[in-house]
Amino acid sequence: MKQINSQKIQNKLRNKFKSSGVKMIGPETIFFSKDTKIGKNVTIDPYVVIASKVKIGDNVKINSFSHLENCKIENNVKIGPYARIRPGTILQAGSRVGNFVEIKKSNVGKKSKINHLSYIGDSSLGNSVNIGAGTITCNYDGFNKNKTKIKNNVFIGSNSSLVAPVTVSENSIVGAGSVITKNVKKNSLALTRSSQIEVKNYKRKKK
């Protein structure tokens, strides 16, 4: 991390990217690596860290407090704020990763969205996938890392857990609050939610 901490090197890198057309807001708060590659028409907000082995395409927006490392960001991608893109991740063209989202060793397909409060690890997402808020891929069973596969045009409802290894096939929907442990066939609706119970005229016990 010496290359990130050296102020002299950082100033040189900032000037390099600024002269190539990268728009930086609060450049003194943005940190690059020597091997960072950035395309055209890219905007980077304050307090962004770009660690080693990051390649960023054209028309990308990286919002504040995001951290990227050893990943590939294709064209027309939006990231953050407060996003963590970990090693081995590919964000394909037009995808969106929002606030408080962590992605590790995963391929996110074209125009797919992971907008809020989610963890995606050891996964492959097809095109036009929507991941609801609070969704997690349960990729570690205590011994091994397992893979989650989410095919094209899948909608994952909020607060869902996908227990790997598992595949959700094309055009399927996972209902909010579900824990998915078995493969979901294409064009299906998968639900594992308990029935709601209501006790009428319930009175709380007094202390």
> Known catalytic residues?
116
> Would you tell me how many other CB atoms lie within 10 Å of the CB of residue 19?
8
Distance of CA 82 to CAs 94, 97, 116, 128, 136, Å?
A: 19, 10, 10, 22, 17
Give the C-alpha separation, 166 to 60, whole Å: 31
> Would you tell me how many other CB atoms lie within 10 Å of the CB of residue 16?
13
Contact criterion met (CB below 8 Å) for 109 and 91: no
| Helices of type H across the chain | 2-5, 7-19
- CA proximity to 53, closest of 85, 97, 94: 85
Distance of CA 130 to CAs 53, 76, 111, Å?
A: 27, 17, 9
Give the C-alpha separation, 186 to 198, whole Å: 34
